[in-house]
Chains A and B, each alone.
Chain A
Amino acid sequence: MSNQHMGKAVPHDSAAKHVTGQAIYIDDIVLPAGHLHGYVSMSPKAHAQITSMDLSAVRTSPGVAAVISATDVPGAIDIGPVLPGDPVLADGWVEYAGQALFAVAAGTESEARAAAKRADITYDDLDAILDIETARAQGSYIVEPYAITVGDAQAALAKSANQLSGKLAIGGQDHFYLEGQVAVAMPGEDGDMLIYSSTQHPSELQHLVAKVLGKSSKDVTVEVRRMGGAFGGKETQAAPVACQAALLATATGRVVKVRLDRDDDMMATGKRHPFHVNWRVGFDADGVLDAAAFDYLADCGYSPDLSLAILDRALFHADNGYFLKNALIRGFACKTNKVSMTAFRGFGGPQGMLGIEAVIDDIARHLGIDRLDVTKRNLYGRDGTRDATPYGQRVEDNILPELIDQLEASSDYRQRRTEITAFNASHSHLKRGLALTPLKFGISFTATFLNQAGALVHVYNDGSIQLNHGGTEMGQGLNTKVAQVVADEFGVPLDAIKITATHTGKVPNTSATAASSGTDLNGMAARDAAQTIKARLAAFAAEQLGADGENLSYADGNVLIGEKTLTFAGFVRQAYMHRISLSASGFYATPKITYDPATRQGRPFFYYAYGAAVSEVVVDALTGEHRVLRADILHDAGRSLNPALDLGQIEGGYIQGLGWLTTEELWWDGEGNLKTHAPSTYKIPAAGDLPADFRVAFFQGENREDNIGRSKAVGEPPLMLASSAFFAIRDAVASVAGNRLNPSLDTPATPEKVLMAIEDIKQRRDTEQ
């Protein structure tokens, strides 16, 4: 193996195609003549019994080829990915506004839409639960509440010298992938179905399409070349449109495309879970936690989807980087009449961490200590003490103390704190705020069985290589990284390797490209496949070329066999002539992980990724407007496989997190209709929101676990770095009242929320005096 590509800032394999518009997305695929466009009609009601559904006028509308409702589904109606609860088309009642009612296929999209409007549907309205508190009051849960416990939180709280309680409402987030949900279904012989989908989870989508068609997985093939962004929003949420397209294709025998436009996409598909966090903590005079009790209430929407795993991950991250000796961490999976909330970068982890970061913030202000000092005092230990998480995993490689020290110095944290305090004392209505927040994020699917991956590598007898693996490309550069691994195994240039679309016919039974695991899992599986081929080549070389099989070395497009150098192409050609198989599948299962869901103890994570950020903001106390002036990030990507791609994940994650915590507001009206369903009303960050001074660096280190190249997963963790901006805003708000009172500020911290928090804290200050 050579090391010519791993660790290098290789550009994304599709970069030249991206910038010229030649990268092909699902909606760009040239479809055969006679293809149809599907449209899915959506429920206008948040909760209702469907008393009648007359679709006769839809069927006779111009251009219509087929209309299907739940009764026309040949197989199963339910497409819940883990637990049942998600009908592919409404089956007698609707549980959120935006739910799929029936599907129409017509010659054009506008014909399909126009036809759908002619449906005659009557409803009996049912009471709708539209918020977390109502769900809790009514005991409306997806599963019964549960808890992770360590020590005795209640007893320790009672004995604690200082106690504080608080609450934080955390808003949800729309993925706002630029490419909306889309799928093309192509019927074949024997009722087979080929699906082109923009999905992070081709295997699950294959299984679900088979299920609704009443077929088995062997009858369905799914292909994904690339997605125009996903962020978790295409893990389970890609399946409905694919299943609906497949149903319409089966009904018509023609190719059907279903593509949601932006508004339909935002109304129909799941989002990041809104949460409420209620907490009570006890701590000593230095701010060191004795006990913590958290209630995490997740707004799961109407169905389970992935909510239980997401709530799990929230609870697993209630500690963030802090040692909790006594903790009671309860989870409430609230069922509401909203769209089913789903995976989104961080998968509950960000909400989990925000809770304890609010605790650290409040303790610091309560005691009059800088929050950085409270942060440091509560970190996990480094020497085998204070290292047990509430769920029993040991934090074996805690680099946070060192990482934070480095960032504190490189960001001039203390000096800027002094300057900011002086500025705030002198300025009437502009207030600056500063905060450093750490992050520790567990890497692995918490459902242990998902931590497996496959790959398929073909070496052709001209020396070129086709690389297939089970992961999907959504912009993160997974294909590039895995190609770097394989190129180094064979010692060939990157352009000798063709990165192909993900295809369920090539690698079966894959897990979603999710949980930041893409490179860890698929890189290892691809390496395994390459090494299988190399083992055969070594045996061949030993037998036929008299070489010592151990001494083959691959570099620069050549193979060094003993004293002899052959071109890689020449060598594999010889192997082929001697009837050596040049194709192999590879497999990887993450080692060491075990977790017992019954006791909620074990080692759910192979390792942790770490990072920290310092954000500085300025807030206008007259309007609540604010801006991030500077952000300093120090992030742990282990020994980065590709610093350019990893930097892209870190920067992009921070800005996406900043949007979640500041400008992106999901607003449902009193009837459960989402009113912020397009970029005109839902505001993700724009270029001007990039901090004017943005300093991002990698923490120098390597993964202590033997993963691919000793790198670390980097997809999700950086999103949580943006919590520093939220707490910097909180700091600025608190400065209005002398930095003694804790602001009541929920997320997203829009100008409105900030101004109202300022008014509130001013009133409390005045009442106090």
Chain B
Amino acid sequence: MTKIRFLHRGEIREIHDPDPNLTVLRWLRENEGLTGTKEGCAEGDCGACTVVLGSLDAEDQLIYRAVNSCILLLPVLDGKQLIAIEDIGTPDDLHPVQDAMVASHGSQCGFCTPGFVASLFAEYHAEAPATDQRALAQSLAGNLCRCTGYRPILDAGLAALKTAGKDKFQARRADTISQLKAIERAGTLTTNYGGRSYSAPQTIEDLAALFEASPDAKLLAGGTDIGLEITKGRRSLDTIIYTGMVRDLTEVTTNETAITIGAAAPYTDAVPALTKDFPEASELFSRLGAVQVRNLGTLGGNIANASPIGDTPPVLIALSADLVLRQGKNERQIAIETFFTDYRQTVLRPGEFIARIIVPRRNQANLYGFYKLTKRFDQDISAVCGGFCLTVRDDVVTEARLAFGGMAATPKRGHTAEKMLIGQPWNGASADLAATALGDDFTPLSDFRASADYRRLSAQNLLRRFWLDTDPARDAQPTGVLDYV
């Protein structure tokens, strides 16, 4: 019998062998009778279920992050602090963000409100809280409100954030840190509930051994996709191995030649290293999921998922990234573009997993562009995603990598279009040539996200946009509607 331990309402909670398929939302509402946190969609897309997780970073600093409790599995709480709406404040003792929400008339029906408050609470404790509407709207992109139109919520948030970091949680910070230290675990957590097991190893060796021994286990990273197998697919996940506690898999390091990202590092930790070298990707990453998803979701998960519409594969293919795959004690390194073999099929062998992603540092001779087309800008799955990298030497394209998502059964390069560019100067006419050639590279599908015609045409036009964005004679005029203020 094993207990998971986490901090909740100022106390260390211990739960014996919890059901690893039980979500934190259901645990709060059904087991604890804490019904302030709401279910709006059960897929991590509306934010009504937002709660805040406290954890210690590598320097033992306490960090608070908003997550969707509807797809968060209970044992993942092990070693963390859980803050739900009931903990943030009460009608007689409102937290500053709650007070501001009331003062700004930020709630109407009130159903989404606890989720907004939780997200604002996390922002209140962020290293650099938002100071303008656009930044705060980004932080709240994972919270949907159908009543207010958001203006009063944004006003409330901006007002409250002016005094950020001065609440009772801040005052208790040292105590919280020592409580979290006290429940730190050494070694693998293993729980058993009925026929369901959950393991959370802490070293890559332990992970590899566990997965090799049960190759049919479900590897759980952020759970922003796997959680839906339970809540939407209504499947039972009987053997879960959680990768989020594996130190080697959560590290992000940069050296002279490469950025190395542990496959289980959440986007929130991984993306800054990438956008530092490749600021062209900032917009795309800021629109990948939303804060709650990026706080849990991982590059490794996005890749291993092998969805044709994942946002990171086109980026990483364009960046010539490699994957290090591990099986037992063996590792192999492959180019990411060779990873995907067919619709949701990969080269992964039984018991093998992605350990890390290796991205070569920026090459100053290269031009980069990353694009994502969606119905809604924020938190939407791409109709088309493009990752482009051109090497231009002596005014001639010597190497071209034009990778697309949403255009085929796998993330894929447009080789015909690439060939068309080699040996050409990079200009509008070349972009047109490549765009035309792209028609031979892809036969996209029509579905509810977009028609084949739109996918084809917009993908072609993204190459034209790429030229406009990289045109050395480009003036200060914005090229996309998001840059336009």
Which residues of A are in contact with B by a Cβ distance under 8 Å? 9, 11-12, 14-25, 27-28, 30, 110, 113-114, 175-179, 226-231, 261-263, 427-430, 474-477, 618-620, 622-627, 629, 644-645, 647-648, 651-656, 663, 665, 667, 675-676, 678-681, 683-690, 692, 694, 750-752, 755-756, 759
Contact = CB atoms under 8 A, between A and B. Distances in A.
Interface stretch (B56-64, B319-327, B374-382): B374-382
Contact of A683 (B150, B380, B479): B380
A625 B94 contact: no
B109 A19 contact: no
B476 interface: no
B447 A675 contact: yes
Given A229-B109, A686-B141, A619 B91 contact: no
Interface residues of B, number: 92
Contacts of B454: 624, 751-752, 755-756
A428 B468 CA distance: 10
Given A113-B234, A652-B147, 11 more contacts: A21-B35, A27-B35, A477-B108, A622-B462, A625-B373, A627-B377, A629-B484, A648-B148, A653-B149, A685-B149, A751-B373
A344 to B, nearest CB: 12
Contact of B448 (A22, A175, A675): A675
Contacts of A14: 107, 110
B420 to A, nearest CB: 19
A629 B481 CA distance: 9
Nearest to A477: B108
Contacts of B146: 175-178, 229, 231, 652, 656, 684
Contacts of B482: 625, 627
A262 B40 contact: yes
B317 interface: no
A429 B467 CA distance: 13
B109 A663 contact: no
Contacts of B451: 752
Chain A contact surface mostly: loop
B88 A692 contact: no
Nearest to B381: A680
Contact of B458 (A16, A229, A678, A755): A755
Contacts of A114: 234
Contacts of B447: 675
Contacts of A751: 373-375, 383, 454, 458
Given A11-B102, A752-B383, A756-B454, A179 B480 contact: no
B113 interface: yes
B43 A430 contact: no
6 contacts: A11-B102, A20-B94, A262-B40, A625-B482, A648-B147, A651-B148
B88 A665 contact: no
Interface string B9-42: 0000000000000000000010001111111111
A257 to B, nearest CB: 12
B140 interface: yes
A448 to B, nearest CB: 30
Given A623-B458, A689-B376, A750-B375, A667 B448 contact: yes
Contacts of B208: none
Nearest to B107: A18
A690 B461 CA distance: 27
A683 B45 CA distance: 10
B360 interface: no
B385 to A, nearest CB: 12
A469 B98 CA distance: 29
Interface in B86-129: 86, 88-91, 94, 98, 101-103, 105-114, 117
Given A20-B89, A692-B133, A679 B43 contact: yes
A228 B37 CA distance: 13
B162 interface: no
Contacts of A759: 457
Contacts of B448: 665, 667, 675-676, 681
A569 B152 CA distance: 37
B352 to A, nearest CB: 29
* A-B interface, 8 closest residue pairs, ranked by CB to CB distance from nearest: A21-B36, A475-B109, A228-B111, A18-B110, A655-B149, A21-B85, A475-B108, A679-B45
Contacts of A675: 447-448
B484 A627 contact: yes
Given A11-B102, A20-B94, A686 B144 contact: yes
A645 B479 CA distance: 39
Given A178-B112, A226-B110, A686-B141, A679 B37 contact: no
Nearest to A647: B105
B375 A656 contact: no
Contacts of A261: 39, 42
Contacts of A756: 453-454
A15 B109 CA distance: 9
A28 B34 CA distance: 9
Contacts of B232: 263, 678
B40 A178 contact: yes
B46 interface: yes
Contacts of B465: 620, 622-623
B121 to A, nearest CB: 11
A624 B375 CA distance: 10
Given A656-B149, A687-B153, A694-B151, A12 B481 contact: no
A688 B102 contact: no
Interface in B140-181: 140-141, 143-154
Nearest to B234: A113
B457 A652 contact: no
B137 interface: yes
A543 B267 CA distance: 77
Max count, chain B CB within 10 A of own CB: residue among A229, A262, A654, A679: A679
A692 B447 CA distance: 32
Contact of A687 (B41, B117, B141, B374): B141
B402 interface: no
B98 A20 contact: yes
A178 B111 contact: yes
Nearest to B48: A178
Contacts of B154: 687, 690
Contacts of A24: 35
Nearest to A108: B30
A253 B458 CA distance: 59
B203 interface: no
A19 B447 CA distance: 39
B377 A689 contact: yes
Nearest to A177: B146
A620 B469 CA distance: 13
A539 to B, nearest CB: 40
A15 B105 contact: yes
B150 A655 contact: yes
Nearest to A25: B111
A179 B144 contact: no
B149 A15 contact: no
A596 B234 CA distance: 53
A752 B450 contact: yes
A665 B375 contact: yes
Given A12-B108, A178-B40, A648-B148, A19 B113 contact: yes
> Which has the most chain A C-beta neighbours within 10 Å: B107, B109, B154, B448?
B109
A652 B149 contact: yes
B412 interface: no
Contacts of B37: 21
A20 B36 contact: yes
Contact of B38 (A179, A648, A665, A680): A179
B102 A19 contact: yes
A20 B134 contact: no
Which of A177, A230, A652, A689 has its CB near the most chain B CB atoms (within 10 A)?
A652
B485 A20 contact: no
Contacts of B133: 690, 692
A20 B86 CA distance: 6
A687 B101 contact: no
B140 A687 contact: yes
Given A16-B91, A684-B146, A179 B109 contact: yes
